[in-house]
Structure 1
Amino acid sequence: MPEAAYLQALLKDLDQDLSLIGDRPVETVFIGGGTPSLLSGDFYQQLFQGIRQRLCLTDQAEITLEANPGTVEAGRFAGFREAGINRLSIGVQSFNNAHLQALGRIHDASTAIDAARQAREAGFTTFNLDIMHALPGQSRAQALDDLQQAIALQPTHLSWYELTIEPNTVFYRSPPDQPAPDSMADTEEAGFALLASEGFQRYEVSAFSLDGHACRHNLNYWQFGDYLGIGAGAHGKITDAARGTIHRYQKTRKPEDYLAHPEQARRQFQPVTEDDRLFESLMNGLRLVEGIRLQTVEDNTGLPAAQWIKNLGELRQQGLLEVTAQRLHCTDKGMHHLNGVLAKLAEAL
């Protein structure tokens, strides 16, 4: 993709969205999707210069870049750091070359290890490693070995999650031989214990951080916060408090179409109806270990807890949800069966 053309397209796209946020400051930026680490440090220097000219990006903003170890050239991280990016998320997935090959990854274990080391050498004091478990043919020992190797690279954040088979993928058409559910559960329990022993606090269903290093951008998602989306295929969510409306939208997906008309990129501008707000607010908040404040739900929906909490009686009786005077959260059992809890929640509401 031509960098200069994409840079100008992003800034034109942003110009169209400025009216959506007024003078609200931007606290976090997340650069993801595709392979953003292929773009140069100079590109990001110019991008953030343009962003700061257009809106208030706070001095303490968390600015994350997703990086694929197979697309990172030596020394490129230093350019990202100089551009103002202060957090990396590196898609390692595994340190087992056979498992990486089965997943179709273009990097190997040594490349992933080098990427983490380069991140530290470039001055990134906070970075995330993505690690999967329940991989085809993966034993419990291999899954825990991946996790131990990740911890040894001294990240401040780990995303450790089960491989899920998504529609329209090779694995969906030809399902792999994954570990049995009981084996997955045992692996997960052992992994949680290992992470806790190394100081990693679980704060979201698959996110673990050292103290003070939770991903602020993702926390905003789970707390039903607003966000702008610029770039090909980007998504956004905006609340208009004065009108009492919430809208989601998506930008033109194909890069070539996006580049052709960036000023007309917003698509599928859909309202979040009042009926949907309660479920969406709870669906997001219950991903967090501490759950969601009842006041936050009321702020998001206009509905006092007394109007809907009574519908959760069965989930509470089954030991899946707990309610205190201020919060609603999943129990350990509920967090383990989160998808089932959310399905029952949709029926109850």
Structure 2
Amino acid sequence: MRKTNAATGGKLLGLYLHIPFCVKKCAYCDFYSITDASLKADYTAALIRDIKAYGERCSGYMVDTVYIGGGTPTCLGADYLSRILQAVGACFAIAENAEITVECNPESTDQAVLEAMHEHGVNRLSFGVQAAHDTELKRIGRIHDFAQAQAAVELARQSGFFNISLDLMYGLPNQTQAQFLDSVTQCLTLNPQHLSCYGLKLEPATPMGRENPVLPDDDTQADTYLAMCRLLSRNGFEHYEISNFAKPGFRSRHNFKYWDLSDYLGLGPGAHSFLNGRRFAFARDIRAYISGESIPQDEEEVSDFQRQGEYLLVRLRTSDGADMHDLENRYHVSAAPYEQVFRMLEKHGLAAHEGTRWYLTEQGFLVSNSIINAVVEAGE
């Protein structure tokens, strides 16, 4: 991938590309994906068409993060992935130190795919491991086993990748705290630089949502979450966002675009963008996207009032929190109503501050939705 350190007026952009293909749809998944492999060639051509078009529209930007997600990008195969990565490098100005991530599933991450990604500048991989116990993987509809995950991560390191993230899930049906912590411990033996650990949330429209299995209760999941935080802290991980943990220097730079309200462009069905103060998204319809009929939907200009609420909403998900001085400078509002709520939360051990920067504690992260709503409402 061609990279540059040319000046672009300081305008940085995160680029997200959606690959909506899966070998098999997981029972819990609500992301937009399909299993019709016959559309891969046409979809690749359509995505490259939009990469070229938006590359021209975004010529004033420097892309410093690229994230290829899904779906399952690795099931697209080495050839199509190579074409997409080549188009990105040819059509966008890519920063010399850009973080370029591809999501990988163990069963479709082979030598050819890894070599293609490495050749075209990918420098960060995110593996969907989810659990270290095969019975749990089968229960949630995954088609790999843990031995395949171990082999894929090892093959990635042999292929020159040294920034590797693993996804894990807790709160699975019949899962105990000990089982989940064992999954974390086994994943730590793979020496990841980053871990994303999510609680299972069942959407009603998914197969598992319709089945509605019994999940661990809220207290059990809260205890598991805090035990996980302690375990990862002992192993040198920074807890930098509600669900994300990183070794020093390995935070996800692309995800921080979302948490900082920075500009990002998303291409592909279901992909969202926030660009030049406007938000838009493509419909979750691959055939419309391929035909060119899918134009960005729900386009809206985001007012300063909306932005200040969203700033608090996303920043309080991170350990950095929200700086009241920054809030006042960005949106020309008084921070006093927000600080009043924060001080009440501090008394209950749910928030803390350093100077003008307020952040949630790990206990606060557990009830972050209600806390963030209360903080945002204070400014209304």
TM-score (normalizing by structure 1): 0.89
Whether the 8 Å CA contact 1:235–1:251 is kept in 2: the answer is: yes
Deviation of 1:319 (Å): 4.0
- 2:54 aligned residue (10, 14, 17): 17
Deviation of 1:324 (Å): 4.2
Whether the 8 Å CA contact 1:251–1:267 is kept in 2: the answer is: yes
Deviation of 1:337 (Å): 1.2
Name the SS for the 1:179 alignment partner. coil
Deviation of 1:169 (Å): 2.1
Cα distance in 1 for partners of 2:335, 2:329 equals: 11
Residue 28 of structure 2 corresponds to which residue in structure 1?
none
- Structure 1 letter corresponding to 2:63: V
Q: 246-255 or 6-15: which moved more?
A: 6-15
Deviation of 1:303 (Å): 3.0
Deviation of 1:313 (Å): 5.5
Cα distance in 1 for partners of 2:241, 2:307 equals: 21
Cα distance in 2 for partners of 1:116, 1:87 equals: 12
TM-score (normalizing by structure 2): 0.83
- Structure 2 letter corresponding to 1:260: S
Q: Please list the CA deviations of residues 155-190 of structure 1 after superposition, one character each: whole Å capped at 9, or x if unmatched.
A: 111111211222322333332222233322222222
- Structure 1 letter corresponding to 2:268: G
Alignment of 1:77-226 (within 5 A): 77-226=114-263
Distance 1:306 1:139, change over 3 A: closer
- 2:357 aligned residue (312, 327, 332): 327
CA RMSD of aligned residues (A): 2.3
Distance 1:157 1:38, change over 3 A: same
Whether the 8 Å CA contact 2:325–2:356 is kept in 1: the answer is: yes
Name the SS for the 2:116 alignment partner. helix
Cα distance in 2 for partners of 1:63, 1:251 equals: 22
Structure 1 runs of 4+ aligned residues shifted over 6 Å read: none
Cα distance in 2 for partners of 1:256, 1:300 equals: 41
Distance 1:273 1:129, change over 3 A: same
Cα distance in 2 for partners of 1:179, 1:306 equals: 39
Cα distance in 1 for partners of 2:114, 2:280 equals: 31
Distance 1:144 1:175, change over 3 A: same
- 2:333 aligned residue (298, 303, 308): 303
Unaligned runs of 5+ in 1: 240-245
- Structure 2 letter corresponding to 1:167: P
Residue 34 of structure 2 corresponds to which residue in structure 1?
none
- Structure 1 letter corresponding to 2:286: P
Name the SS for the 2:266 alignment partner. coil
Name the SS for the 2:166 alignment partner. strand
Cα distance in 1 for partners of 2:327, 2:57 equals: 22
Cα distance in 2 for partners of 1:324, 1:331 equals: 12
- Residue 53 of structure 1 pairs with residue 90 of structure 2: yes
Name the SS for the 1:228 alignment partner. strand
Alignment of 1:5-44 (within 5 A): 5-18=42-55, 21-44=58-81
Distance 1:47 1:174, change over 3 A: closer
Distance 1:326 1:24, change over 3 A: farther
Q: 292-301 or 176-185: which moved more?
A: 292-301
- 1:284 aligned residue (309, 314, 333): 314
Whether the 8 Å CA contact 1:36–1:67 is kept in 2: the answer is: yes
Residue 268 of structure 1 corresponds to which residue in structure 2?
298
Q: Please list the CA deviations of residues 184-212 of structure 1 after superposition, one character each: whole Å capped at 9, or x if unmatched.
A: 22222222222112111111111111111
- Residue 337 of structure 1 pairs with residue 364 of structure 2: no
Name the SS for the 1:297 alignment partner. helix
Deviation of 1:306 (Å): 4.4
Cα distance in 1 for partners of 2:56, 2:116 equals: 31
Paired residues in the alignment total 342
Deviation of 1:28 (Å): 0.2
Q: 253-262 or 54-63: which moved more?
A: 253-262
Whether the 8 Å CA contact 2:102–2:122 is kept in 1: the answer is: yes
Cα distance in 2 for partners of 1:90, 1:223 equals: 24
Cα distance in 2 for partners of 1:24, 1:304 equals: 32
Cα distance in 1 for partners of 2:314, 2:57 equals: 23
Name the SS for the 2:267 alignment partner. coil
- Structure 1 letter corresponding to 2:283: T
Unaligned runs of 5+ in 2: 1-37
Whether the 8 Å CA contact 1:23–1:55 is kept in 2: the answer is: no
Point out which structure has higher relative CO (alpha carbons under 8 A, 6+ apart). 2
